[in-house]
Amino acid sequence: MPSLIDRTWTPPVARRQLGVFTSAQARATGMSRRQIDYRIANGVWKRIVGRGLVLSEEDVTPRSLGVAAWLTRPGSILLGPAAAAFHGAPIPTLSTVDVWTDRPGDDLGGGIRPPACPPGPE
């Protein structure tokens, strides 16, 4: 029996975000929480960092990790190896993305971490 799920569908906004989107963006197109959970549980979509999702067959790049971090915490700033990789520096595979956020003690989880010591004043 053929699958009723289009395994290539993502929210239209993902085209502008290097293929990355959030469950909130999928919900905004009319998907139910159950449909989203089903696609994640059955490997149609995968979570990369934070709230970022991509199609399972998509390659995860440093740039897509950066977009996922920003979608998780808009206004955050990429730091360290993640920032270097985002701009094309040859960095080995990243398992976490360091960001600066203006919310002290912000636990972003999901492979995103704020620095232990925020940048000082200029």
Domain for residue 120, yes or no? no
Pairing label, strands 112-113, 97-100: parallel
Instruction: Write out the residue range of the structural domain in which residue 49 sits.
Output: 12-113
What Å distances lie between residue 72 and 21, 53, 89, 120, CA to CA? 10, 10, 23, 24
Region 93-114 average pLDDT:
69
Domain for residue 6, yes or no? no
Residue bearing the bigger pLDDT, 117 or 43? 43
Region 26-32 average pLDDT:
96
Domain for residue 3, yes or no? no
CA pair distance 83, 91, nearest whole angstrom: 10
pLDDT of residue 120 exceeding 80, the answer is no
Domain for residue 108, yes or no? yes
Domain for residue 21, yes or no? yes
Quote the pLDDT of residue 114: 60
Domain for residue 7, yes or no? no
Domain for residue 60, yes or no? yes
Region 33-50 average pLDDT:
94
Domains: count for the chain: 1
Domain for residue 48, yes or no? yes
